[in-house]
Amino acid sequence: MVETNIPIMMPDKRAVKIICGLIILISGIIIGAGSTVMMIKHRVIFVDKVQKEPNDIAAKIAIKYSLNEQQILEVQKIMNKAFAQRRAFDAEQDKRRDDYAQVIISEMNSIMTPEQFAQWNKGFQEMRAKYKSRK
């Protein structure tokens, strides 16, 4: 049997280190992105609502659908009426919520001691203020 010396090619140590480093870097990026998506997935992010005026909406509709002057005036009337109805509905709902909150407060006051009620009412009023500030 004849033995031949076949040179074995050893990879450059520097290249191996670079490849390992890139694999670790890419894995970290993928894991980080995945965990970020999972964190955000179940979180509600409140964004300040942009309050639009009825005439702004009518102007956008007029541009998008190439309305004439008569149509623009009619759309403005419709939007103004809709906004007025919505404001009236919101005011009515706010009054109902306030009335119901007063019922809850009086019922809780009737079963709690003054100290308990003071503590509960403080938390309840803070919760209501937080809710109203989000609107």
The residue ranges of every structural domain in the chain are 17-44+54-134
Asked if residues 108 and 120 have their Cβ atoms less than 8 Å apart, the reply is: yes
Q: Does the predicted model carry a pTM greater than 0.85? A: no
Angle at 130 (CA atoms; ends 129, 134), nearest 5 degrees: 115
What does the alpha-carbon distance between residue 100 and residue 36 come to, in Å, rounded to a whole number?
40
Model confidence over 20-79: pLDDT tens digits? 999 999 999 999 888 888 777 777 565 555 668 888 889 999 999 999 999 999 999 999
Residue 15's pLDDT band (boundaries 50, 70, 90)? confident
Exposed/middle/buried for residue 30 (C-beta within 10 Å: 0-12, 13-18, 19+): exposed
The one-letter amino acid code at 85 reads Q
pLDDT at residue number 21: 92
pLDDT digits (tens, 9 = 90+) for 118-131: 999 999 999 999 98
